[in-house]
A and B are shown apart, each in its own frame.
Chain A
Amino acid sequence: MKKIQVFDPALCCSSGVCGTDVDQALVDFSANADSVRQAGAHIERFNLAQQPMAFAGNPTVKAFLERSGQEGLPLVLVDGEVALAGRYPTRADLMRWAGIVPISTEAKPQSGCCSGSSSCD
């Protein structure tokens, strides 16, 4: 099983309710991560405001922060290598990385897994 690590920007809270507006991307991602986790995927999240050592201690993440700054987050690593940056992964992304095959087509409507991607086949 591949390990998916998500490095969030500095959030007062991971629900994002403390931001200017509730970030829909954050809400969707939290729900997607939960459901894919339940399907057996290994997903870890790190909040820059609460676990900055996780960022500083990982050379890939540290180098990314030095190059792109906090504005470049979130950053997603799969088995330690950069898989995605600047936006949250979709449900389909997560399942593909975790090697989980969708059982049926009854994907939840909020997942938006098919938008602009051919990974739902």
Chain B
Amino acid sequence: MNFLTAAPHFLFFTGKGGVGKTSIACATAVTLAAQGKRVLLVSTDPASNVGQVFGIAIGNHVTTITAVPGLSALEIDPQQAAQAYRDRIVGPVRGLLPDAVVKGIEEQLSGACTTEIAAFDEFTGLLTDADLTTRYDHIIFDTAPTGHTIRMLQLPGAWSGFLDEGKGDASCLGPLAGLDKQRSQYKAAVDALSDPQRTRLVLVARAQPSALREVARTQQELTAIGFANQFLIVNGVFPAGEVHGDPLAMAIRAREQSAIADMPAPLRTLPFDCIDLRAFNLVGLEALRQLLTPTATLEPAQAEAWQAPAARALAVLVDEIARDGHGLVMLMGKGGVGKTTLAAAVAVELAHRGLPVHLTTSDPAAHLVETLKGSMEHLTVSRIDPHAETARYRQHVLDIKGKSLDAHGRALLEEDLRSPCTEEIAVFQAFSRIIREAGRQFVVMDTAPTGHTLLLLDATGAYHREVARQMGAGMRYTTPMMQLQDPRQTKVLLVTLAETTPVLEAANLQSDLRRAGIEPWAWVINNSVAAAHPQSPLLRRRARNELPEIDAVATRHAVRYAVVPLLAEEPVGVARLLELGRRS
């Protein structure tokens, strides 16, 4: 493995949820410890199973892993760090200020920025602690700070005002003012990150075109801010020796190999490793030791029998949606779970029944949706371009706000406008325009604002309602929030994969939505291997591993759900999308 060669002091793994960062970080730690190194493993996975992997409870303090000489571990929960920060701000006024006011403050502090900054604050201690640095040869992180966070900290303007004075005048760094470290310490942390002698960043992706494109964007963003020492891992690649004549396995293998062959040019310059897809769940030391070493292929006899999950076709959910004759259907979930495909499948299924449907997507690679344009009666297709919407919004803000600012202030504002919140708000404006149509027809979307954005925006909604009230009875005013909270007008479908981290992320999204008074209507488990009835021993093992996840969705998370099988071919075109919705 290239990424293990001459490993520097700090190793960061970065990539989307569910790509296997935590498993690779654990395996790396075990491998380096076996070479006689003293290793500290830091996990920030909110579903941290590091403790489970090693069979002991770890938590928020350095814990010695007795089973692996030389290894210690620490779990940081970024949500908990953000909560601790909120408590520090809000705690003293609870009971002193009215409850509604306290709730409003908490919502303002619940954004992605706060979590990001709070997690970075935790890292800072580890990166700059001289004692830790001498005590361990390697400190391994299963996640990395985002480019946005680091750029903010690199801006001289970021430090001039609020951090020194503690006055909190800028947005995304606001939380730092409430934290207890010094400016010099944050600077030292950023310096350590961008020093190739000390820090290596390992990008982790799956062998899918969209995943590799996203990693290429991350690579360029991090290169631009001075993260020079980068490696690439493509994880979970289907091994040639495991195909065993299974048509599904053959198709997966071919699809992945062409994705790797066609990966974006900037990624080709990086030192590169492939890690095979494994049949086993990565729990226990033995499994971890095997992850970074070649394994023997499974024998067909090793594939044990299991009970396939009960059939649950997407079309059954669509039957119920169709009954209302119109309404908003939103597919929500993390990137890479197949929201766009499922939105298209729902739209095609509705249009096929003669119902008027507007399908709209914000997926930049929405060629799937493009192929539907003009191809079906009752179906119209449009696109929200998040980049164009965000760029327009950003320019608008800079034009009116930037003119009164000096160069530092302007640079800081520009960086603020690159925060994840900004894109959400910009896209929300385009989104609000389209959802009004849902009173007359079906509107199916593959995107939606988070509960946090909705709550922030509802402050405006409350204002509008107040205006409407003062204008007297008979005036009807519906804010987008009111429309989304009404189950007769809006159905939210949460999309996930039948794997631990994606299910957990979807469950987090569900509680976020509930906070905003929106109850998800159904869950859709996409790309299920178990539902695809595979033949190859490896896929059959993987399928069996999905069963507890499917069961968790069915019994714990969802009121109603569908399971959509992993397909050999990409579902492009009306016929294949209809088939996708009907298979189970």
Q: Footprint of B on A, CB under 8 Å?
A: 9-15, 17-22, 24, 27, 30-31, 34, 47-53, 55-56, 62, 65-66, 69-71
Complex Cα spacing A9 to B102, Å: 12
Q: A17-B401, A55-B97 are in contact. Are A50 and B417 (CB under 8 A)?
A: no
Q: A17-B413, A49-B108, A71-B462 are in contact. Are A56 and B97 (CB under 8 A)?
A: yes
Q: A18-B111, A27-B401, A31-B404 are in contact. Are A62 and B466 (CB under 8 A)?
A: no
Tell me the residues in window 88-103 of chain B with beta carbons closer than 8 Å to chain A beta carbons. Answer: 89-90, 92-93, 96-98, 100-102
Other-chain residue from A20, A27, A62 in contact with B400 (beta carbon distance below 8 A): A27
User: Cβ of A50 and Cβ of B178 under 8 Å apart?
Assistant: yes
User: Cβ of B108 and Cβ of A10 under 8 Å apart?
Assistant: yes
What are 20 A-B interface contacts by the 8 Å CB criterion? A12-B108, A12-B456, A14-B168, A15-B416, A20-B428, A20-B457, A22-B396, A27-B400, A27-B404, A48-B105, A49-B89, A50-B174, A50-B177, A52-B90, A52-B97, A53-B92, A55-B93, A62-B96, A65-B101, A69-B101
User: Cβ of B425 and Cβ of A52 under 8 Å apart?
Assistant: no
Find chain A residues with CB under 8 A from B105 CB.
10, 48-49, 52
User: Cβ of B177 and Cβ of A65 under 8 Å apart?
Assistant: no
Complex Cα spacing A10 to B108, Å: 7
User: Cβ of B109 and Cβ of A49 under 8 Å apart?
Assistant: yes
Whether B172 is near chain A, meaning CB under 8 Å from some CB there, is: yes
Find chain A residues with CB under 8 A from B463 CB.
71
User: Cβ of B172 and Cβ of A52 under 8 Å apart?
Assistant: no
Complex Cα spacing A69 to B401, Å: 28
Tell me the residues in window 433-447 of chain B with beta carbons closer than 8 Å to chain A beta carbons. Answer: none
> With contacts A19-B459, A21-B429 known, what are 9 further pairs, Cβ within 8 A?
A12-B421, A13-B170, A15-B401, A19-B460, A27-B400, A49-B89, A49-B105, A50-B178, A70-B101
User: Cβ of B425 and Cβ of A20 under 8 Å apart?
Assistant: yes
Find chain B residues with CB under 8 A from A62 CB.
96-97
Find chain B residues with CB under 8 A from A34 CB.
404
Give 3 nearest A-B pairs by CB, closest first.
Answer: A13-B171, A49-B108, A56-B96
Of B101, B107, B457, the most chain A CB neighbours within 10 A belong to B101
Find chain A residues with CB under 8 A from B89 CB.
49-50, 52
Decide if the interface of chain B is mainly helix, strand, loop or mixed: helix
Chain B: residues with Cβ within 8 Å of the partner, total of: 46
User: Cβ of A11 and Cβ of B401 under 8 Å apart?
Assistant: no
B168-185, CB under 8 A of A: which get 1 and which 0? 111110100110000000
Other-chain residue from A15, A17, A53 in contact with B93 (beta carbon distance below 8 A): A53
User: Cβ of A17 and Cβ of B422 under 8 Å apart?
Assistant: yes
Decide if the interface of chain A is mainly helix, strand, loop or mixed: loop
User: Cβ of A10 and Cβ of B104 under 8 Å apart?
Assistant: yes
Find chain B residues with CB under 8 A from A71 CB.
462-463, 466
Tell me the residues in window 405-427 of chain B with beta carbons closer than 8 Å to chain A beta carbons. Answer: 413, 416-417, 419, 421-422, 425
User: Cβ of B171 and Cβ of A12 under 8 Å apart?
Assistant: yes
Among residues of B, the one whose C-beta sits closest to the C-beta of A44 is B167
Find chain A residues with CB under 8 A from B168 CB.
14, 47, 50-51
Complex Cα spacing A12 to B420, Å: 13
Among residues of B, the one whose C-beta sits closest to the C-beta of A35 is B404
Q: A18-B111, A22-B401, A71-B463 are in contact. Are A52 and B93 (CB under 8 A)?
A: yes
Least CB distance, B180 to chain A, in whole angstroms: 15
Other-chain residue from B102, B171, B400, B429 in contact with A18 (beta carbon distance below 8 A): B171
Whether B4 is near chain A, meaning CB under 8 Å from some CB there, is: no
Tell me the residues in window 105-139 of chain B with beta carbons closer than 8 Å to chain A beta carbons. Answer: 105, 107-109, 111, 113
Whether B311 is near chain A, meaning CB under 8 Å from some CB there, is: no
Find chain B residues with CB under 8 A from A24 CB.
400
Other-chain residue from B98, B172, B416, B462 in contact with A65 (beta carbon distance below 8 A): B98
Least CB distance, A63 to chain B, in whole angstroms: 11
User: Cβ of A69 and Cβ of B421 under 8 Å apart?
Assistant: no
Least CB distance, B190 to chain A, in whole angstroms: 21
Whether B308 is near chain A, meaning CB under 8 Å from some CB there, is: no
Tell me the residues in window 464-522 of chain B with beta carbons closer than 8 Å to chain A beta carbons. Answer: 466
User: Cβ of B104 and Cβ of A18 under 8 Å apart?
Assistant: no
Find chain A residues with CB under 8 A from B466 CB.
71
Least CB distance, A11 to chain B, in whole angstroms: 7
Find chain B residues with CB under 8 A from A18 CB.
111, 171, 419, 421-422, 425, 456
Find chain B residues with CB under 8 A from A19 CB.
425, 456, 459-460
Least CB distance, B39 to chain A, in whole angstroms: 39
Find chain A residues with CB under 8 A from B177 CB.
50
Complex Cα spacing A65 to B102, Å: 11
B246-271, CB under 8 A of A: which get 1 and which 0? 00000000000000000000000000
Among residues of B, the one whose C-beta sits closest to the C-beta of A53 is B92
Find chain A residues with CB under 8 A from B174 CB.
12-13, 47, 49-50
Complex Cα spacing A100 to B39, Å: 64
Find chain A residues with CB under 8 A from B396 CB.
22
Among residues of B, the one whose C-beta sits closest to the C-beta of A69 is B100
Q: A18-B425, A19-B456 are in contact. Are A69 and B98 (CB under 8 A)?
A: yes
Of A14, A17, A31, A69, the most chain B CB neighbours within 10 A belong to A17
Whether B47 is near chain A, meaning CB under 8 Å from some CB there, is: no
Find chain B residues with CB under 8 A from A11 CB.
108
Least CB distance, B189 to chain A, in whole angstroms: 22
Least CB distance, B544 to chain A, in whole angstroms: 46
Of A22, A30, A55, A62, the most chain B CB neighbours within 10 A belong to A22
Complex Cα spacing A49 to B178, Å: 11
Complex Cα spacing A34 to B421, Å: 27
Among residues of B, the one whose C-beta sits closest to the C-beta of A61 is B97
Whether B84 is near chain A, meaning CB under 8 Å from some CB there, is: no
User: Cβ of A15 and Cβ of B404 under 8 Å apart?
Assistant: no
User: Cβ of B404 and Cβ of A52 under 8 Å apart?
Assistant: no
B68-96, CB under 8 A of A: which get 1 and which 0? 00000000000000000000011011001
User: Cβ of B169 and Cβ of A14 under 8 Å apart?
Assistant: yes
Complex Cα spacing A17 to B170, Å: 10
Find chain A residues with CB under 8 A from B462 CB.
71
Complex Cα spacing A99 to B425, Å: 40
B302-322, CB under 8 A of A: which get 1 and which 0? 000000000000000000000
Q: A18-B456, A27-B404, A34-B404 are in contact. Are A48 and B169 (CB under 8 A)?
A: no
Complex Cα spacing A14 to B174, Å: 10
Whether B397 is near chain A, meaning CB under 8 Å from some CB there, is: yes
Find chain B residues with CB under 8 A from A51 CB.
168
